Amino acid sequence: MNCAKRAFICIMIMAVIFAGSSVPAHAGQSAEPAPRLDAFFLGTKGETGDFFLDMLNTMMKEHITWRQSFHPEDPQAISDKNLAAPEATDARKKLKEVLSTLSTRLQKGSNPWFSPRYLGHMSADLLVPGVIGYMAAMLYNSNNVVYEGGPATTEMELEVGLQLARLLGYNPEKAWGNITSGGTNANFQALWYARNLKSFPLAVKAVMPELVKGLNEQRLLNMPVSQSLDLLDKVKNSPRYETILKHTVKGKGVDPKKLGKLLVPQSRHYSWDKAADVFGIGSENIIAVPVDKNYRMDIEALDRTIAGLVKKKIPILAVVSVLGSTEEGAVDETHRIVALREKYARRGIGFYYHIDAAYGGYVRSMFIDGSGAFMSLAQVRKTARERYHISEAATWPQASVYDAYKAVPEADSVTIDCHKLGYIPYPAGAVVFKDKRILAVQTFHAAYVQDLRAQAPVSIGHYVLEGSKPGAAAAAAWTAHQVLPLNMDGYGRLLGRTIKTANMLYEAMAKAEPFQAQNGRTYKFVPLVKPDLNMVDYVLKEVGNPGLEAMNKLNQAIYDECSYVSGDLMKKDFITSKTVFSPAEYGNTPLDFVRKCGLGDAEWEKTPSVLVLRSTIMTPYLADEAEFASYFDRLVEIMKKVITKVGG
């Protein structure tokens, strides 16, 4: 048996062991019991530790057996005599000492993100299938940059790409997806493709003008993505194909700043600013579209922005929206952006559309039934109530959130991170393209595109920004997807727990009575907005204190006490994150929250900045109502202690 097949079988064995004999429930069947989901986590006290160690030991033994089975007639490279030598004993002793130091440093300086006391950044307990899958594949040291560097894991990466394509609503026969180091790199790759494709019609005009006869530069720069891909299809087998590619922006045939504006929401991830710099687009060509009071992209403002550019005959390189912003968890209204693109397409204005769903992409599993169909709003809400036990009062999802997720397949590409709401180890971001024909704009080696279409072995490195990339990340995602399907019965259950918890936290904070700290002053929670997903931003406000500066100072002090900034993390009663809203990023949008806190407009003018505590509710351990109620009572008591300690 060759190395690739052996590696693949080892991972498959582990997936089967985890999956057991259970069959995922389909829509209409009885709900699976909660214990099955619990079995996939190590737990706050290592409750499944024995099983974890058993599976880890099994996979390590499989790896050792794999080595032994490769030409067993060959002699040992390391002799028993050498292993028994004093020097070898000393070396092992030294390693034990170093590993002990490593463990101490990791435990002392790492966030206890496995505990529900940690409600901070986008980290939580990891799925055991993903962890074991990663650790098992890591020993095979596969490199997915070229097929020969990791045959088994390259196949898994391509499979994961298609699994994510189905999750996002793309046709897997036409789509392409690959794993990246993270959302930043995925966004880079999407913009890289969008930039090069935007310049392609101009390159065709320079080399084969007969194919775009009658189209001036303005019309070529506004060519819709589908037409650009059709044009790419026409020339892919031409002997002048490589010459055309050399006339695109990648061949310096086109100035990237000539390709138009990049429209992003104010809530964008900072990776977009980085990407504009790296790809020569320039920060001056980024337009930040305002967000509304719910921190979603303001679609009317987007329409006005596009109309203004059209009037000035300035092309639009791409529009980017966010499905789960990193600061607020907000879901931009994808469906309305799609409608805008269609409106302008009828006027001859085309542009690339990308969705940054690095955080919120996996939530789409909550909208997909066991057969793979996207459910109606009524069905999704019924599932939320009956299977995930999200309260009817939460009205989750809001109609706009549902419509946004339904319209995802209309985008040209999507960023989605397995290492966020996929609950597998870093590094594992991903980008998925709706139409794999776009790959042909990214390489001078046309033969590889032909190989891809024939489903022959593919060297992924020809199409991505990264060089060497771990096959272990692909194995982790692949394994997790085998035991937790990308639908309402799999990941939907897990994410349903977190959205339920987030809504309970929001409601508890919004309805909680003000409490008195030991300093005799009274305080209250003020949540930012009702969560679209599972992120809750909030502040603690001293009742009767009208100062925004004072409120910021109080919440900064709370953050300092409830984060890595001070003290031993393992002794923290509660750990959270923070973010700051200022005019530079959000204009005057935060003024609505300032008013919600009972502060006057003058305070915003005097102190134009709001510091909020930010809790990403990824923990699967707080979905029980009674446990959550007890948890929130403890949280209030913790805040009383913290406020007293920081002198709030």
Q: Are 264 and 287 in contact (CB under 8 A)?
A: yes
535-542 and 610-616 as β-strands: parallel, antiparallel, unpaired?
antiparallel
CA distance 573 to 159: 42
Q: Are 540 and 554 in contact (CB under 8 A)?
A: yes
- Residue 546 Cα distances to 146, 173, 301, 597, angstroms: 61, 59, 32, 9
The region, left, alpha or beta by phi > 0 then psi within -120 to 50, assigned to residue 282 is left
Amino acid at 242: E
CA distance 348 to 351: 10
- Backbone φ and ψ for 391, nearest 5 degrees, come out as -60, 145
Q: Any bridge partners for residue 108, and if so which?
A: none
Q: Are 475 and 135 in contact (CB under 8 A)?
A: no
CA distance 141 to 150: 8
Q: Are 487 and 372 in contact (CB under 8 A)?
A: yes
Amino acid at 490: G
Nearest Cα neighbor of 548 from 501, 506, 599 is 599
515-516 and 429-433 as β-strands: parallel, antiparallel, unpaired?
unpaired
Beta strands in 325-374 (DSSP E): 352-356
Residue in the block written with tokens 């809750």: 536
CA distance 200 to 205: 9
Each residue of 296-328: b (16+ CB within 10 Å) or e? bbbbebbbebbeebbeeeebbbbbbbbbbbbbb
Residues with a known catalytic role: 448
